[in-house]
Structure 1
Amino acid sequence: MASGDLRQRTKPAPTDNGDPPAANLNAGTTTLTDPKVAHPSGKRKHGRLIRWFRGFSFAVYFLSSCIAINLTQIVGAPLYWLNRDLYYAYMALTKQSFGLLITSMTYWWGPTTIRISGDDSVAGQIKRTADGRVEFAFPERLVLIANHQIYTDWLYLWWVGYANSPQMHGYLYIILKESLKYIPVIGTGMMFYGFIFMSRKMAVDQPRMAHRLGKLKTRHTAPDGRSYLNPMWLLLFPEGTNLSNNGRAKSARWAEKSGLVDMQHLLLPRSTGMYFCLSELKDTVEYVYDCTVAYEGVPRGGYGEEYFGLSSTYFEGRAPKSVNFHWRRFRIADIPLSDAKEFELWLRERWYEKDALMEEYLATGRFPASPEAIVDSKGLQGRTGAYVETEVRTRYPFEFVQIFVVLGVFGLVWNVLGKMWANTVGVFR
């Protein structure tokens, strides 16, 4: 579907009662206008008592894991003044722990099907494993962009890093709004992770970004004298915020003010931050990977945040029935970075294409299938034009224990040293 065709369509009008219009979610079989179907994942699967227990157990696991990770980071903080390379490697391990945390908590409390396809540019990089998982073969350094549907988009994209070979969930970097760094425990952890915090004032943000991006493109020297770059996945949401009624209105006003055609299913992207990042990293990164994300059940004209919040997904047992990814990649050498205006046009055209993909998803319940056969780890091929369907889960049942290993070892050593000290003092008394 050409972007020009997309621009001729108008947004469907809401129904008389203000509800979103009926949506053809899966080959026209499901609508949301029936008041008995208030949520795309159906009625609550649990009563109040079970929901309370799920919420309590989730909170205990999540908070205890976050505290353990944060304490692990604090224990390793002195490495910053001893050896910077060792410090960043150590923090990457703690970031892996957070990747394990969100993967395991989604598998236990918010299980969902992940349906994945891609165009020719990612052919051979998405494989089905023999045990039903997916394995991505994306490079160690890339810039990852995506449309922003709900607050937890980053959670599913972080899992992609976990499912990649080599695993990259310890090298994900996210650009976030500044207020998030003041969240107790979690904000401190994100600062240790080297995430980039934005105030949305370019005069303030540009020096910060230049500093952080400078670290991400710093070359290191191996013991054998070889120069290398650390792995890096930089995640950007060019829309700047998730899709919502407020964001939709702002995008429409900006389109009218700028004489642009607004998106039907996305927000108009902001190019300034991405342009700066790519300009800084262009000599150290070869590709931009683009993921178009859609959640099953969100009706035409509706917003995912209204259906798939933390409570619905993790406490009520109403996670999205499927999270759908469609992947593309673009060579940075082919992106017009010599002129900011040309880049803005390039990014907007990519977003019109993504909007057309979203239209196809809403009309058929599927993104375009991968054009090549899907090959599993044993070399067996699926049908041409296939999808990989899997779930967010860890490779091993008790892999989450790694979250607590470093802190446990430190506590054990501290206890042993304390007893040795006590015994030594006792001898000399």
Structure 2
Amino acid sequence: MGATPAEVEETLGGPKHGPAMATLRTVGFFIYFLGSCLFIHFSQLLGAPLYFCNKDYFYAYMAWTKEFFGLLVTTMTQWWSPTVIRLSGDKSMSGLIKQHKDGMLRMKLGERVVLMANHQIYTDWLYMWWIGYTNSPPMHGHIYIILKESLKWAPIIGPAMQFYGFIFMARKWSKDQERMRYRLRKLSTSKHSGPKSGALKGASLDPMWLLIFPEGTNVSANTRNGSKKYSEKMGIPDMKHQLLPRSTGLQFCLQECADTVEYLYDCTIGYEGIPHGLYGQDVFTLRSVYFQGRPPKSVNMHWRRFKIADLPVNDHDAMSQWVLDRWREKDELLEHFYQNGKFPGDPDAVEIEGGPQEKEWKTPYINTEVKPRNPVEFLQMFAPVTAAGWFAYSLVKAVDWVFGK
């Protein structure tokens, strides 16, 4: 039995903003988000002809516009949905999660990685994109996400994601395999090591962060019911807080990228404030989070790292079992989170600049927030279209001056 609206109110508190302010926030949000998306998409269209001139220039330009969207989701979250971001990890992450004196997070995951994560709600990929922004060097312009095909034709955003080289899956392996092979062989080309055997020659998509959600969709009452039925059909125990993962897509990604990618990173995401019996998408809706001012009390991320060379990527059954085992561990992590409000963490996984250095005093957690390094950094989203408009205006004025004489 699910929680009642009264229980949700008790857990999250009432709306922070009344109807008038919520309406104002709604209008402001859509003006900023949709306006920025239009500027970014027009910037993409301005650079589209580069594809026929020099593909390296084209991909570099699209990476620049991808940074714009990373800045958009960062500022959008900071202004409309500020919350505590708590990070932890196990020993495999030692030295890779750092907080500077200014409070900013600095991840050190590398320039070519595969990331996998559980899928709680729609904001998961926004926070993962922000993680790319925090990386040193920043990778928010080089993230590639594997998504369901229905998103491919979403107005404005769908074509923009196609320009970004995202991979869309129909969830039919006979249809998805060749499409993924084509995209992944482009992504598996590194400027440093050269293309792997069979990779496409020519332009390089390097650096590269490839993000995949093996559950395929976010957790809800319907998807949990489907996962339960599948587990009963297959005769395997179901998950408690997640969906049973699908290993085929992840295995294929690792096979194609193994020659140029050393590590697979695993992130377990948990949102504080979800009442028992409900799911994240029931509580943290667009309306409650961005318009009413009721974001999660904290967004928690627990990180692990696995060396791809140590994984059974060429054995389907063994790889399927490996992914299932990791998901059962993630389910235990989530159970610990819901019982204690935090994931377990290893103090060696995190480093706080200027913080206590003695091991017995070291905290296994970094608390930070989503924000840009520079408060005016987001203005670069509007630069290409503004510059093109100014150039067009100046050209028209020049032509008028020359021929108007």
State the TM-score, normalized to the length of structure 2: 0.93
2:345 and 2:25 map into 1 onto residues whose CA distance is 36
Equivalent position of 1:167 in the other structure: 138
- Any idea what the Cα deviations from partners look like across 1:15-61, whole Å, max 9, x if unmatched? xxx334xxxxxxxxxxxx79365263211011111111000000000
Are 1:405 and 2:388 matched, yes or no?
no
SS of structure 1 residue aligned to 2:9: coil
- Cα distance in structure 2, aligned partners of 1:411 and 1:405: 10
Structure 1 range deviating more: 100-109 or 275-284: 275-284
Instruction: Report Cα offsets for 1:159-185 as digits up to 9, x if no partner.
Output: 000111100000111111111121111
Q: CA distance change for structure 1 residues 171 and 34 in 2, over 3 Å: closer, same or farther? A: closer
Aligned to 2:240: 264
The separation in 2 between residues aligned to 1:219 and 1:243, in whole angstroms, is 35
Residue 19 (structure 1) aligned with residue 2 (structure 2): yes
Displacement of 1:228: 7.7
In structure 1, the partner of 2:197 is none
| Matched-pair contact (CA < 8 Å) for 2:352–2:366 | no
Matches of 1:39 and 1:309, distance apart in 2? 17
* Change in CA separation of 1:71 and 1:342 when aligned onto 2, cut-off 3 Å: same
Asked if the contact 1:114–1:323 (Cα under 8 Å) also holds between the matched residues in 2, the reply is yes
In structure 2, what is the equivalent of residue 287 of structure 1?
263
Separation in 2, partners of 1:197, 1:374: 34
- Corresponding residue for residue 328 of structure 1: 304
CA contact (8 A) 1:174 1:236 kept: yes
Is the counterpart of residue 187 in structure 1 residue 158 in structure 2? yes
- Counterpart for residue 249 of structure 1: 225
Tell me whether 1:211 sits opposite 2:187 in the alignment. no
User: For residue 360 of structure 1, what is the aligned residue in structure 2?
Assistant: 336
Partner amino acid for 1:184?
P
1:361 & 1:118 partners in 2: Cα distance? 13
Equivalent in 83, 100, 107 of residue 54 of structure 2? 83
Give distance in 2, aligned partners of 1:36 and 1:338. Answer: 48
CA RMSD of aligned residues (A): 1.9
Determine if the alignment matches structure 1 residue 344 to structure 2 residue 320: yes
Segment of structure 1 superposing worse, 358-367 or 93-102 = 358-367
* Correspondence for 2:105 among 98, 117, 134: 134
> Which amino acid counterpart does residue 369 of structure 1 have in structure 2?
G
Structure 2 CA distance for partners of 1:228 and 1:208, relative to 1, 3 Å: closer
Alignment partner for residue 9 of structure 2, among 9, 33, 38?
38
Partner of 1:23: none
Q: Runs (4+) of structure 1 moved beyond 6 Å?
A: none
Moved more, 33-42 or 256-265: 33-42
Aligned pair count reads 394
**Code of the aligned partner of 1:417:** L
1:103-145 CA-partner distances (Å, limit 9, x unpaired): 0010000111000000010111111111112111111111110
Which residue pairs with 1:299 in the alignment? 275
- 2:347 aligned partner: 371
Is the alpha carbon distance of 1:117 and 1:81 closer, same or farther for their aligned partners in structure 2, counting shifts above 3 Å? same
- Cα gap change, 1:51 to 1:263, in 2 (>3 Å): same
Post-superposition Cα deviations, 1:284-307, rounded to whole Å, max 9, x if no partner, equal 110100000000011344210001
Structure 1 Cα separation of the partners of residues 38 and 216 of structure 2: 29
Q: Which runs of 5+ in 2 are unaligned?
A: 194-202
Alignment CA distance shift 1:52-1:293 (3 Å): same
- Structure 1 residue 120 corresponds to structure 2 residue 98: no
Query: CA, structure 1 residues 34+57, in 2 after alignment: closer, same or farther (shift >3 Å)?
Result: closer
Residues 333/417 of structure 1: CA separation in 2 closer, same or farther (3 Å cut): same
Query: How many Å apart are 1:200 and its aligned residue?
Result: 1.2
Structure 2 counterpart of 1:8: none
Structure 1 residues 34, 151: CA separation in 2 closer, same or farther (over 3 Å shift)?
closer
CA–CA distance in structure 2, aligned partners of residues 221 and 278 of structure 1: 19
Q: Which amino acid aligns with 1:85?
A: D
Please give the secondary structure, in 2, of the residue aligned with 1:77. Answer: helix
1:148 corresponds to which letter in structure 2? Answer: H
Other-structure match for 1:149: 120
Query: Aligned letter for 2:138?
Result: Q
> Which residue in 2 is equivalent to 1:25?
none
Aligned to 1:393: 371
**Alignment deviations for residues 52-95 of structure 1 (CA, whole Å, 9 cap, x no partner):** 10000000000110000000000000000111001000000000
Matched residues in 1 for 2:51 and 2:192: separation?
17
Which string of whole-angstrom CA distances, capped at 9 and with x for unpartnered residues, describes residues 280-328 of structure 1?
A: 1111110100000000011344210001111111001000010000000
Listed as ranges, the matches of 1:216-227 within 5 Å are 216-220=187-191
Residue pair 1:161, 1:172 contacting (<8 A) in 2 also: yes
Q: Which amino acid in structure 2 is aligned with residue 197 of structure 1?
A: F
SS of alignment partner, residue 6 of structure 2: coil
After superposition, the Cα gap between the structure-2 partners of 1:413 and 1:264, relative to the gap in structure 1 and judged at 3 Å, is: same
Counterparts of 1:159 and 1:103, CA distance in 2: 6
Deviation at 1:400, TM superposition (A): 0.8
Report if the CA contact (8 A) 1:221-1:228 is conserved. Answer: no
Aligned residue identity for 1:239: E
* Alpha carbons of structure 1 residues 86 and 19: separation in structure 2 relative to 1, 3 Å: same
Once the 2 structures are TM-superposed, how far is the Cα of residue 337 of structure 1 from its aligned partner? 1.1
Give the fraction of aligned pairs with identical amino acids, expressed as a percent.
53
Q: Residue type of the partner of 1:337?
A: V
Query: Does structure 1 conserve the Cα–Cα contact (< 8 Å) formed by 2:16 and 2:292?
Result: yes
- Residue in structure 2 matched with residue 29 of structure 1 by the alignment: none
Question: Aligned pair 1:237/2:213, yes or no?
Answer: yes
1:380 positional shift: 6.2
Secondary structure at the counterpart of residue 336 of structure 2: helix
Distance 1:228 1:256 in 2: 45
Question: In the alignment, what sits opposite 1:315?
Answer: 291
Q: Deviations over 1:315-344 (max 9, x none)?
A: 010000100000001000011012111100
CA distance in 2, matches of 1:219, 1:323: 33
